[in-house]
Each structure stands twice: as structure tokens, then as C-alpha cells.
Structure 1
Amino acid sequence: MRYLVRDRMFAFHEEAWIETEHREKVLRVNKKLLRLRNTFHFVDTQGTVVASIVRKAWTFHHTILIKQDGRKVAKVSRKVFKLFGDRFKVKLADGRRLKIVGNLWDREFDIQERGSTLAHISRRLFSIRDAYSVDVLVPAETTLLLVLAVCVDHVLHEQRD
């Protein structure tokens, strides 16, 4: 299923909406500003926080924790010294490992597990800068894959600024 992530550029606090391809709102992403950590909360349409991204403000490596119900479910790390392209690795709490690979400069990348693509993220289909699609190929992992897409997009956006 295809999801669309739309950023609100001129909001007082940064927020984005994740919608289905039929424009039904699924999750709101709230970024908490002016804190020692960068924190994103993923809130469903009933107002319940379903996941969070937490990154300490002063770290050398881009290491980010993904939490659900107050417990860590994933750790996202960026390979710092990579000759050809940026790569991210994800270690899940259940021991599985995912890779995020592709053309990250153009924000065209895949989330993979053992060579199998779980989701494809692309800005290519949109003429406006602050929207991108997430094609989820494994519906059971939808929330995690959407959170990972926002996480990587945020790190890449920070790096460009």
C-alpha cells in the first residue's frame, strides 16, 4: 500500500501528516522543539502516541532510537565512512537486522531485510519538495516502516541544512 508523507513547512512547531494514497489521514508526526533531544511522536487519528523517535542532540554518529509503548523496538545507525553512497542499518529488538540502501541524496531508497525489499521510499513522484511516498510491501510492519522512512528523511534533511 502507498502512503504519502506531507510536511507542513510554515507551522509554529514542525509536523507532518502520513496519509494513505486515498488521502485518509493515518498518523501525525509531531516534532518537539527546544529540547536536548530531537523527539518525534507518531500520533494516530484518536490522539494516541503509537511510536516515538528519539535522538540525543549532541552525538557524533547519527544513532536514533525508535520506541513503542515506552520500550525500544529499534536502533537506527548510519555508517559514517562509506565510499559509495550513504547506508543506514537498523537493529530491531527481536534481533532482526534491516538495511536502508539506495540513492539517499535524491531520497530514493529501500528498506530491506536479507535482500528482500520491505518498503520503497521516493520523492520522485512529487513536484513539491516536502512530500514523498512510502510503498509498504509488508503490511504487518507498516508502522515500523513508516517510522523508519521519516527517521531517515529527517537525518538526510538535517545533513543538507
Structure 2
Amino acid sequence: MRYLVRDRMLAFHEEAWIETEHREKLYKVNRKLLRLRTTFDFVDTQGNQIASIVKKAFTFHHTILIKRDGELVGRISKRAFSLFGDRFKVTLRDGRRLRIVGNFWDREFDIQHEGSTLAHISRRWFSIRDAYAVDVMSQHDETLLVILAVCVDHTLEDLKGEKLTNL
């Protein structure tokens, strides 16, 4: 199943819509402003909260927590320093460990479990700068895979902003 993530850059607050490949809106990602930690709410079209995405403040590694119904379901972290490219690791509540690997500069990456690809994230086919596709190959938890893609994308945007301010 292909999902499209479309960011709205000119909105007062940061938000993104997740749609099916047929342009049917499924979820919205709202960024909560004026908080000590970066927080996103992942809500359905009726306004029901599906998940909460919280970026931990003051950590050595970039770490994001994914919560559903107040319970931690996953933790995604990126190494602060890496010799062989950026790599993200995901630890899920059920004990599974996922890897997110690929070309992060061009925003082409895969979510993998034990060598098999669960989802492929790509900006390649879009002329619109702020849209990307999430092709989900696994039907185990499609929503979680889309949430992970959004987390990686926002982490990469934050890192790009940090590099520009350090110049």
C-alpha cells in the first residue's frame, strides 16, 4: 500500500497530511508549539489521537518516543556520530528491533527487520518538495511504519536546520 505524506510549510503551525495513493486523507500530524520538547500528535480525520510522537530533549543521541494510549510502543534513535552514514535504530515494545537505512541526503530509505524490507520511503517521484511516498510492504502494522517514516523525516529536517545554524 502506498501512502503520501504532504507537509504544509506555510501553515501557522507545522502539520502534515497522510493520504492514500488515491488522495483520500487518513491521518494528520500536528506539531505542538511552545513546548520544551518537540511533540507531534498523529490524529485520524475525526480528530481521534492515534499516537503521540515526542522528541526527547537533552539527549546525546537524537531520540523520539512513540506512544499510543499513553503507553510507549517504540523508540527511534539516531547516532550522533557515525563513520559509515546515518543509521536509525527502532526498538518496539514487543522486542523487535528495526533498522532504517538508505540515502538520507536524498531521502531514500528503507525500514527493515531481520534483512527484509517492511517499507520504502522516497521523495524521488515528487516535484513538490514537501511530499514523499511511504510504500508499505508489510501489513503487520502499517500505521506504525508510516509514523516511523514521519519521525525520520522530521529528524532529518531538524538536523539540516542545526547544520545551517552552526555555519
Per-residue CA distance 1:109-159 (angstroms, 9 max, x = gap): 000000000000000111111000000111221110000000000000111
Question: Aligned to 2:82, what secondary structure does the other structure show?
Answer: coil
Q: Distance in 2 between matches of 1:60 and 1:37?
A: 15
- Contact preservation (8 Å) 1:107, 1:122: yes
RMSD after superposition: 0.9
Aligned to 2:89: 89
Unaligned runs of 5+ in 2: 162-167
Whole-angstrom CA distance in 2 between matches of 1:57 and 1:34: 14
- Whole-angstrom distance in 2 between the partners of 1:60 and 1:10: 31
- Alpha-carbon deviation of 1:82? 1.6
Query: Counterpart in 1 of 2:64?
Result: 64
Question: Number of matched residues?
Answer: 161
Q: TM-score w.r.t. structure 1 length? A: 0.97
Normalization by structure 2: what TM-score? 0.94
Runs of 4+ in 1 over 3 A off after TM superposition: none
Instruction: State the match for 2:118 in structure 1.
Output: 118
Distance in 1, matches of 2:49 and 2:111, equals 23
Q: Are the equivalent residues in 1 in contact too, given 2:101–2:109 (CA < 8 A)?
A: yes
Deviation at residue 79 of structure 1 after TM alignment = 2.1
Aligned partners of 1:36 and 1:56 also within 8 Å: no
In the TM superposition, residue 29 of structure 1 has moved relative to its aligned partner by 0.3
In 2, Cα distance between the equivalents of 1:121 and 1:3? 10
Q: Which runs of 5+ in 1 are unaligned?
A: none
Give me the whole-angstrom Cα distance separating, in 2, the residues matched to 1:79 and 1:16.
Answer: 26
Offset from partner CA, 1:49-104 (integer Å, 9 cap, x none): 00111013333320110001110000111122321210000000110000000001
Letter in structure 2 aligned against 1:135: D
